[in-house]
Structures are given as C-alpha cells and as structure tokens.
Homo-oligomer: A and B are copies of this chain.
Amino acid sequence: MTATVHEVTDLYPTRQGGEPRVIPRQDPVVQGTAEQGPMDAETLCGFDEKGYLTIDQLITADELQLFRDELKRLAEDPEVKADERTVVEAKSNEVRSIFDIHKTNEVFRKIANDPRIVDRARQILGSDVYIHQSRINYKPGFVGKDFTWHSDFETWHAEDGMPTPRAVSISISLTDNYSFNGPLMIMPGSHKHYISAVDKTPENNHKQSLVMQGAGVPDPETLTEFADKFGIDVLEGPAGGAIMFDSNCMHASNGNVTPYPRSNVFIVYNSVENTPVEPFAAPQPRPEFLSSRDFTPAGS
C-alpha cells in the first residue's frame, strides 16, 4: 500500500508575521447559475458585485414570533447558560450568543434546513452545502458592544482549515435594524480582496476571541484604504428580513446606546466541496460547535 499525501496549497496565507498585504481573491464568488433558481440573474450579479444581498421578508410573522419566543426561552434556561457553547457577558451575566442551535434546537434545526435558505446557499455556492456554524446573537439596547472590521473567512481559514471562501452566511433579523442600533455594516466589493493578517494565532484563541477580537483583525491603514475604496453600506431593514453575505466580506457593527436591542439567527453554509483540512494558521482546530465536522448536506 502506498500512502498518498495530498498537498494543500495555501491560496490565502495569513498570520505568518511580516507585513500586512492584500491578496486578490482566487475563487469565484457565485458558482451556481440563475437557471437553478430560486434567485434571478440580477440578484446573483448583485451578490457577485457587492458580496451580499438582502431579503426583505424571509420568514412569516408567525415564525418571527416563534423564533423570538424560543430565543427568550433559551436565554433564560440555566442549562443553556452554563453550556460551553453559550457566550455570557461577564459584566452583566447576560447571554450574548448561543452556538450550535441547528443541532440542539428543533425550531432552529428546521429553519437551518429550510429550502428558502438552503436553495439560495446552494445556488450561490454551486453545490450541496452543509452547516459550518450556527448561532443566535443578542445585542442588547443601551450597552450593545461593537464588533470591529473583519472577514469571517480569514478566521475560518486560519483556525478551522477552510480552504477557500466558498461559504455564505445568512443573518435572519429577529428585531428591526435601524442605522442607530448597531446594524451590520459591509464594505461592498471588499470580498474580492483578502487581507492577510500579521499576528500569529495564540493558543486557544477562540476562548477569548468570542468575547473580544484579537488575531486576524486587519490593520488600520488597510481598513482605511478599503473604506475609501469600497465605501460602507449600513444594512437597515425590518424584523423577519435577512442578509446573505459572502464569507470574505469586510464587515463590522457599531455599539448601541439606543433602547432598541438587536437579535438575529446566524447560519454559515459551506460547500461540501470545500470541507476543512488542518488549520492553516493555528496550533489546533477550534471545537466542533464553532467549526462543524458533520458534512451532511443541509436540507437533505
């Protein structure tokens, strides 16, 4: 028997020390076609260009209420709060994120496998898709904290071993998004450029990076160039709507001093042809709840 060694070329090197640099994206953004449906050519073209698309009303009013009730119930459940897959803010002792909800909760398992979403993800990625990560996020009013600019793919590549940015996220809004309550901001077009970060990944980085960002955060000079070049889109929109965005979008959100909280369901779909290998820039892979190793196609 001959052992076959698969050499994996790192097309998106990061966290190697040296100087920060920008690498052109090596892979197409949209890999499916309009013929597949459900989205038309114009929608796909917009996604290719901007790196995101919005869906005004993805879920029904009944579903919205159901999801909100479920979020509230989970956030108050002591067992959920104690789980390692739940992020609790130390200062307030309040739940901020609950991961892995597509595995642990029937309501969210169902929506994560719903054709309204899965068929769109399939169409963008041009293959079957599986769920790389899922969570619900809760950003309270008055004290909602910010999230600085980053590309999700940079982290998934460095720490989870995701080879290419053939992944798409959906954020389903459970509350209204105003310009003033810390909505998602995206630099449209930034997804076609990859910022190679400098600092190496610390051991067990995810334990603190879920609470505070560190490794992989782009340098201020490159971010300023990006903002000047691409601009910043502020994604307002009503509860029940959704945003789908490319895994390499440069995105962020400001803090929130208004009384209006923000919550959403967040699911990441990765192509079944893009399953993770060894991390490209971390001592070991992150836990299963951050980077699923179950590659069963969603919606099947």
Contact = CB atoms under 8 A, between A and B. Distances in A.
Contacts of A232: 178, 180, 258
Interface in A193-222: 220
B180 A234 contact: yes
Contact of A254 (B180, B224, B252): B180
Contacts of A148: 142, 257
A13 interface: no
Nearest to A145: B255
A260 B227 contact: yes
Interface string A157-185: 00000000000000000000011101001
How many copies make up the complex? 2
A148 B259 CA distance: 10
A86 interface: no
A223 B256 CA distance: 14
Interface residues of A, number: 27
A257 B146 contact: yes
B234 A149 contact: no
Contacts of A180: 179, 185, 232, 234, 254
Contact of A255 (B254, B259, B260): B254
Contacts of A141: 220, 224
Contact of A259 (B182, B223, B234, B254): B223
A295 interface: no
Nearest to A146: B257
Contacts of A185: 180, 258
A187 to B, nearest CB: 10
Contacts of A289: none
Interface in A234-257: 234, 252-257
A256 B254 contact: yes
Contacts of A258: 185, 227, 232, 252, 254
A260 B180 CA distance: 16
A299 B152 CA distance: 55
Interface string A134-164: 0000000110001111000000000000000
List the 3 closest A-B pairs by CB distance, nearest first.
Answer: A179-B179, A255-B255, A224-B259
Given A227-B258, A232-B258, A254-B258, 20 more contacts: A141-B220, A142-B223, A146-B255, A146-B257, A147-B257, A149-B257, A179-B179, A179-B180, A179-B234, A180-B185, A180-B234, A180-B254, A182-B254, A223-B259, A227-B259, A227-B260, A228-B259, A252-B258, A253-B257, A254-B255
